[in-house]
Amino acid sequence: MNRLTTLLIALLLISFALFTDTAMADTAPRARLSDASYLRKLSLHLRGLQPTPAEYAELEAVENEPAKRQAYFDAKIDQYITSPHYQDRMVFRLAELFQLRTPEVPRLTSVTGPISQGYYGTPRSEHPDALLDLFSRIARDNLSWDTLLTGKDYFAGALTDLRTFEPLMSSLSDETLLDPGKPPVPVSFAADDPRIAGALTTARFLSRYNTTNVNKNRRRAAAVFRIFYCDPMSPVVPPPKDKKAAVLAQAFGTVDHGTVTEKELQDGMSISDAARHGGQPQCATCHYKLDPMGKTFQNFGLTLNTELAPGALVFARPGGQKVNVTVKGIGELGAAIAKTPEYSACQVEWFWSQLIGQDVFLLPSRKSELTADFDRLGHRANDFIRLLVKAPEFREKPRKIEMLTQLHVSPLLKRCDSCHNAMGTIPEFAAIPTQLIDPELLERMRERMNLADDDKRKMPRDWTRWNPRDLELLKRWLNEGAADANGKGQIKPLPTAPNTKAPDQGGAK
């Protein structure tokens, strides 16, 4: 062995030791939450409510009896997961994942049966739509998470749902379609119908991710990759510099006529199709997988197509291996996605971010364990959530946040997208930093969030649906300079930030 080889081996050993020390420091076990804090965290994360005084008293009565204490927590987890509030929280979480406008009704329950009250006596217009009802039933009935991709049963609580399904159903009468006072209509298809794919063939999804003759369903395909494969699918072509004012005006939902006119607003939202679709060499990095998937949505407007639309599931794995599964229609596409290991791993990441938190690093070995658990449990969401809230990571105390970075606020920025990103030309807030986001947008966000409480222009507009700690966390991040994931500030910090205290991270996510 020559000197050079010896030196290289020594350097590798030193690097490995340093890496191991760093990893151990980042993932060292944290102190455990007290029993009362654990109960509070369970209640907030699973149902969005504080425990009652009676619940704390029940816990105190068994604090010196380990077996009874564990049985108490197990019973509470089951109670919370079977509550209407848990279903509501799951609907909101899924609405954010799908980047829908978060539901505005004060109580969301499934249209398929009474939870706290019956729904069949109310006009159809007051029911959740088929997609939100699907979300609710996954939580209520402990359905497989794959139902989002493979479900064939719906309850059409809105006329738009019925119009979407109408081409595939000969049993719908004009009277049913035209009478908004009718109760929700059960809509079912054969288990092997390749034209139906759970959430992907609902009016809400199709209208949220609309298409054009130029786009050719790539936007819908991009949403599928983002939701089910954790692929951000961020656009590679930024809007023209001279349209920035219009893009910002659209993003914040207001038009300051001193800055941008209505015509400029429309022009800014009409970015050249050639520039956005195929006119740049970077487009090939995504189109190889978007185009085959987009074909499965062929001829879908806001109604479904009676004919099969063949396509393919195409993507490259990290090692370079290319997956290419030919499918007869969108139903087979959904089933093919649900069978891939990348789908399971992505869903585990999402559940982890919702319950454990993105500030707790998910080690590759731990991710593999949880993915195996997710598969073993048949991808049933409630069973997997039970497993996560009993995991040691859930009960660890959060570290004090000395400096906020984008990692701490990323889940909150995704909530912003659920309302703001209704149009494809609006930059995604959760994608910060990106070439579509510049300091002006961040400064505008900070300005809007720091307006007086009685100012109608403040954001978010409906603060009642936000945890106060989350709002303070987001405001503090902006006021301190909006540090990116590496700790580098993106805007000038305010001279004195209104909130310099690290907020309690034990609240609901």
Q: C-alpha 37: how far from its chain's center?
A: 26
Picking from 172-176, 363-367, 465-469, which range would have the lowest pLDDT averaged per residue? Answer: 172-176
The pLDDT value recorded for residue 256 is 47
Torsion 253-254-255-259 (CA) sign: negative
Average of per-residue pLDDT across 52-56 = 95
Mean pLDDT computed over every residue of the chain = 77
The pLDDT score that the predictor gives to residue 249 is 62
Question: CB neighbours (10 Å) of residue 352?
Answer: 21
Cα–Cα distance, 157 to 154 (Å, whole number): 9
Residue scoring higher pLDDT (411 or 146):
146
pLDDT of residue 268: 44
234 vs 100, residue with greater confidence: 100
Residue 90 and residue 138 in contact, taking contact as beta carbons nearer than 8 Å: yes
Structure tokens at 236: 């590679």
Cβ-based neighbours of 78, under 8 Å, separated by 6 or more: 386
SS3 5: helix
Sign of CA dihedral 494, 500, 502, 504: negative
Q: Which residue has the higher pLDDT, 13 or 212?
A: 212
pLDDT at 55: 96
Preceding peptide of 460 cis, ω within 30°:
yes
**21 φ, ψ to 5°?**
-60, -45
| Cis peptide bond upstream of 29, omega within 30 | no
What number is the average pLDDT over the span 204-223?
89
What pLDDT sits at residue 464?
A: 53
pLDDT of residue 121: 39
Write a three-state SS string for 92-105: HHHHHHCCCCCCCC
Identity of the residue numbered 391: A
Residue 492: CB atoms within 10 Å: 10
CA distance 507 to 509: 7
User: Minimum mean pLDDT among 91-95, 346-350, 375-379, 389-393: which range?
Assistant: 91-95
Residues 384 and 351: beta-carbon distance below 8 Å: yes
Would you place residue 496 in the very low, low, confident or very high pLDDT band (cuts 50, 70, 90)? low
Find tokens 């969401």 and name the residue.
381
Question: Is the pLDDT at 382 greater than 90, yes or no?
Answer: yes
- Summarize the confidence of residues 166-194 as an average pLDDT: 73
Which pLDDT value is given to residue 134? 94
Report residue 413 as tokens. 């920025």
Strand, helix or coil for residue 309: coil
Confidence of residue 171 (pLDDT cuts 50, 70, 90): low
- Residue 224 pLDDT level (bands cut at 50, 70, 90): very high
> Span 42-66, mean pLDDT?
94
Question: What does the alpha-carbon distance between residue 443 and residue 126 come to, in Å, rounded to a whole number?
Answer: 39
Share of the chain above pLDDT 90, in %: 38
> 339: how many CB neighbours lie within 10 A of its CB?
12
Are 451 and 458 a contacting pair, CB within 8 Å?
yes
Q: Given the structure tokens 């639309």, which residue do they identify?
A: 309
What is residue 242's predicted lDDT score, i.e. its pLDDT?
Answer: 57
Cα pseudo-dihedral 345, 350, 352, 357, rounded to 10: 140
Mean pLDDT of 355-360: 80
Give one DSSP letter per residue of 182-238, joined into a string: SPPEEEE--TT-TT--GGGGSHHHHHHT---TTTTTHHHHHHHHHHHH------SSP
Of 195 and 125, the structure prediction assigns the larger pLDDT to 195
426, amino acid identity = I
In a 3-state reduction of DSSP, which class is residue 16? helix
| Distance (Å, whole) CA 68 – CA 76 | 12
Whether pLDDT at 377 is above 90: yes
Q: Are 36 and 73 spatial neighbours (Cβ–Cβ below 8 Å)? A: no
Residue ranges in 381-429 assigned as alpha helix (H): 381-389, 406-420
Is pLDDT above 80 for 93?
yes
Both tokens assigned to 372: 């195996």
Check residues 27 and 121 and name the one with the higher pLDDT.
27
Cα 322 from chain centroid? 26
- pLDDT at residue 53 greater than cutoff 60: yes
For the chain, give the longest Cα–Cα distance.
Answer: 88
Give the confidence band of 400 by pLDDT, cuts at 50, 70, 90. Answer: low
pLDDT score of 82 more than 50: yes
Residue 16 banded pLDDT, cuts 50, 70, 90: very low
User: 428-476, pLDDT tens digit by residue?
Assistant: 676 665 544 667 778 888 888 776 655 555 666 655 566 677 788 888 8
For 55-69, 247-261, 394-408, 411-425, which range has the lowest pLDDT when averaged over its residues?
Answer: 247-261
Q: Which pair of tokens denotes residue 312? A: 């393919």
Q: In the prediction, which pLDDT does 319 show?
A: 81
pLDDT at residue 105 is higher than 60: no
DSSP classification of residue 396: B
Sign of CA dihedral 250, 254, 257, 258: negative
How sure is the predictor about 119, in pLDDT bands with cuts at 50, 70 and 90? very low
- The pLDDT score that the predictor gives to residue 453 is 57
Helix axes 244-251, 439-449, angle to 10 degrees: 30
